[in-house]
Amino acid sequence: MGAPEPPGSRRPGGRTARNRAAVVEATLAELARHGYPGLTVENVAERSGVHKTTVYRRWGGVDGLIVDALDAAGEDDWPAPVTGSWETDLRAVAYEVVDTFTDPERAAVPSAVVHAAFHSERAATALHGFLAGRHSRAADAIARGALPGSVDAAAVVRSVTAPLYCRLFITGERVNRDVADQAVAAAVAAVRAGVYG
């Protein structure tokens, strides 16, 4: 089987782009509604109005749908928080994770994607790329917020998100703004102690 044509590679703004947008939107909606185990090409085709054979031909299957939805999400204009200080930027990043994952409606899609990554190498690779992009944008933001230039900004961002993701997806412990505040305080202490360069 040949590699599928990269979605959206033809006639930007034409039917190909419209189909991709509709399929990505339908994939996210289906993930939000049924989670990863309930995602099917049939349902995405029906919801998007794109013919099932087109979805199979261009996306290959469920994994391809998730990969493309993550790629599309990574191309968005998510603004990393810019508050003027790297410490409050970090807090804003941490709060955004907490607020997203404690709201069942907002949590549905990202949770389903993490779930998918456990099933599929391709989904995992796409998730890793998506998170690396988010971390990198947040790192750029805190680096502009007067973080000392020698500090590894990406490591600082990861040190704040890791305790939250670990609780959410591994240990099943609660997350809330207090947990986020503690993660930020720990990151700030570590930066001041020179742990991140």
Contact with a copy of itself (CB under 8 A): which of 27, 48, 120, 159? 159
Torsion of CA 128, 131, 136, 138, to 10 degrees: -170
Indicate whether 108 belongs to the interface with a copy of itself (CB under 8 A): no
Contact with a copy of itself (CB under 8 A): which of 31, 62, 131, 157? 131
Indicate whether 64 belongs to the interface with a copy of itself (CB under 8 A): no
Indicate whether 158 belongs to the interface with a copy of itself (CB under 8 A): yes
C-alpha–C-alpha distance, residues 97 and 111, integer Å: 12
Indicate whether 195 belongs to the interface with a copy of itself (CB under 8 A): yes
Query: Is the CB of 9 or the CB of 162 nearer to a copy of itself?
Result: 162
Indicate whether 190 belongs to the interface with a copy of itself (CB under 8 A): yes
Contact 64, 6 (CB under 8 A): no
DSSP state string for 42-71: HHHHHHHT--HHHHHHHH-SHHHHHHHHHH
Indicate whether 185 belongs to the interface with a copy of itself (CB under 8 A): yes
Indicate whether 177 belongs to the interface with a copy of itself (CB under 8 A): no
Residue 163 CB: number of other CB atoms within 10 A?
A: 21
b/e burial code for range 83-117 (CB count within 10 A of at least 16 → b): eeebbebbbbbbbbbbebbeeeeeebbbbbbbbbb
Candidates 34, 24, 187, 193; CA nearest to 108 is: 34
Three-state SS at 21: helix
Query: Is the CB of 116 or the CB of 143 nearer to a copy of itself?
Result: 116
Stretch that binds a copy of itself, among 73-81, 82-90, 137-145, 189-197 (CB under 8 A): 189-197
**Measured distance between the N- and C-terminal CA atoms of the chain, rounded to whole angstroms:** 48
Contact with a copy of itself (CB under 8 A): which of 118, 148, 174, 176? 118
Indicate whether 57 belongs to the interface with a copy of itself (CB under 8 A): no
Q: Which residues of this protein are in contact with a copy of itself, per CB under 8 A? A: 114-115, 117-118, 124-125, 127-128, 131-132, 135, 155, 158-159, 161-163, 165-167, 169-173, 182, 185-190, 192-193, 195-196
